[in-house]
Amino acid sequence: MMWRTLYTFALCVAAPFILLRLWWRGAREPGYRRHIGERFGSYRGARNEKPLLWVHAVSVGEARASAALVRALAAAHPGYELLVTCMTATGRKALKELHGESVRIAWLPYDYPGSVRRFLEHFRPRLALLVETELWPNLLAGCAGFGVPVLLANARMSEKSARGYRRLGGLARPAIGSLALVCAQSSQDAGRLRTLGARRIEVTGNMKFDSTPDAVKRAAGKVWRERLARPVLLLASTREGEEKMLLEALPAWDGKLLVLVVPRHPRRFDEVAMLSQSRRSRGEFPGAQDRAHLGDTMGEMDFYYAAADVAVIGGSFAPLGGQNLIEACAAGVPAVLGPSMFNFAEATRLALEAGAAVQADSAADAIRVALQLLLNSKEKEKMGAAGRALCEAHRGATQKHLDYCGELLAGTATAPARR
């Protein structure tokens, strides 16, 4: 309790800076300046009349990973309303694109006790699902006080993250110990979460393997690629500094290759545009002399993968842990990874073993491998087929989550909410 009190005090001291950062980010992404009251537990509109299931997907990756589960929950529990919360402007936009008006979408409040209490009083969820590693001490304590069971869905815990949680054991252990159930991506994730205090853990696999590429966007990407009639190297979900690093590693232009650059965060689109000759958001089609084309639209990764011959996965050339390589596998596109993939350790291991991906030691090595694959159609097709087969073989995590949700709901059907 003392650790959580100190944590809350630190949050209160930081409040002015949190608001300033929120407003600053809103200058580039206006979504951060909307519905600010929700950040502190103030929600407009009537309270839900039906019982409510709540899923928290912090940003775009979690929104996509949980999309199939949200739809499955709605189908399996038609008497319930669905609430999906997030923390980022891109995440909220992605949720709107994925679910439209079929679910309620809101900001998760900051982790102040009063904000959490107002959130729980307003929505009164029967079950909470936190996707991947969203472990907020006051939120979890509030859920325990209101009798809301919490399932940590698609849970992952890298060794680096586990070390951080161990250093804050007095704060983290009670929070993790309060979870009703952890559905871990792998046995390694399960083991780390168990040592951090999780009481019940089931290894269910990665829900991202259940994602299916959007057929319309995929078809549009293929048409775009046919019209282009040039080989396409995709730099997917790149992070700060990676675009320049990878583009500079390319040899002299052969007059044919198009590099399709898709940054991870929209706030960097204008910055990366300086390295490109055309950009998709302006309706521009790459000209014959364009070497780099900027993919600066949201929600179109299925389009970009369908347009690509080979993908280099961003976030992996600095110690950031990588980005989602499963999207490339599902699209049948060979994936070239950098050395830092700890956030997708199990998926990386499986993809490497299956022959769907290659891991490089540096940006220069990654470009060299990617260019070799572009010239080797037989190997490229083999890796693409291996990626699709890998995704097919590891489907089923969503259904396992759905089953456990039903079990937890059955246990709360008659239990009165605590306060």
Tens-digit pLDDT profile for residues 319-330: 999 999 999 999
Of 186, 131, 138, 132, nearest to 161 (Cα)? 132
d(CA 350, CA 373): 20
Residue 4's pLDDT is 93
Please check whether residue 10 lies inside any domain of the structure.
no
The pLDDT, as a whole number, for residue 291 is 96
Do 267 and 246 lie in a common domain?
yes
Q: In the prediction, which pLDDT does 417 show?
A: 47
Q: Residue 133: pLDDT band by 50, 70, 90 thresholds? A: confident
If one compares 48 and 231, the residue with the highest pLDDT of the two is 231
Domain count, the chain: 2
Whether 16 is in a domain gets the answer: no
Task: pLDDT band for 414, please (50, 70, 90 cuts).
Answer: very low
Query: What percent of the chain has a predicted confidence (pLDDT) above 70?
Result: 98
Predicted pLDDT at 284: 84
pLDDT for 139-156, tens place per residue? 999 999 999 999 999 999
Same domain, 400 and 389: no
Quote the domain boundaries for residue 304.
215-393
pLDDT at 56: 98
pLDDT over threshold 90, residue 280: yes
Residue 278 belongs to a domain: yes
- What pLDDT was estimated at residue 45? 81
14, part of any domain = no
pLDDT surpassing 50 at residue 134: yes
CATH of the domain at 263: 3.40.50.2000
Contact 284, 297 (CB under 8 A): no
Residue 416 has pLDDT above 50, yes or no: no
Residues forming beta bridges with residue 233, ordered by sequence position: 259, 310
The mean pLDDT value of the chain amounts to 94
Are 235 and 369 found together in one domain?
yes
337 and 403 both lie in a single domain: no
On whether residue 81 sits in a domain, the answer given is: yes
Least confident of 77-86, 106-115, 281-290: 281-290
The pLDDT of 6-25, averaged and rounded, is 93
Give the active site residue among 29, 38, 49, 62: 62
* Backbone phi and psi for residue 207, each to the nearest 5 degrees, phi listed first: -65, -20
Give the tens place of pLDDT for each residue, 162-190.
999 999 889 999 999 999 999 999 999 99
Q: What is the pTM of this model?
A: 0.90
Q: Does the pLDDT of residue 415 top 70, yes or no?
A: no
Q: What is the pLDDT of residue 411?
A: 82
List, edge to edge, every strand of the sheet that includes 310-313.
Answer: 278-279, 292-294, 258-263, 232-238, 310-313, 335-337, 357-359
pLDDT tens-digit map of 187-222 = 999 999 999 999 999 999 999 999 889 999 999 999
Could you tell me which residues come within 8 angstroms of residue 302 by beta carbon, excluding any fewer than 6 positions away? Answer: 213, 214, 217, 218, 221, 327, 331
Residue 13 within a domain: no
The mean pLDDT of 381-393, rounded to a whole number, is 97
CATH code, 104 = 3.40.50.11720
Q: According to the model, what pLDDT value does residue 418 have? A: 47
pLDDT confidence of residue 413:
53
Shared domain check, 346 and 376: yes
In the chain, the N- to C-terminal Cα span, in Å, equals: 17
327 is known as an active-site residue: no
Same domain assignment for residues 196 and 314: no
Same domain, 290 and 377: yes
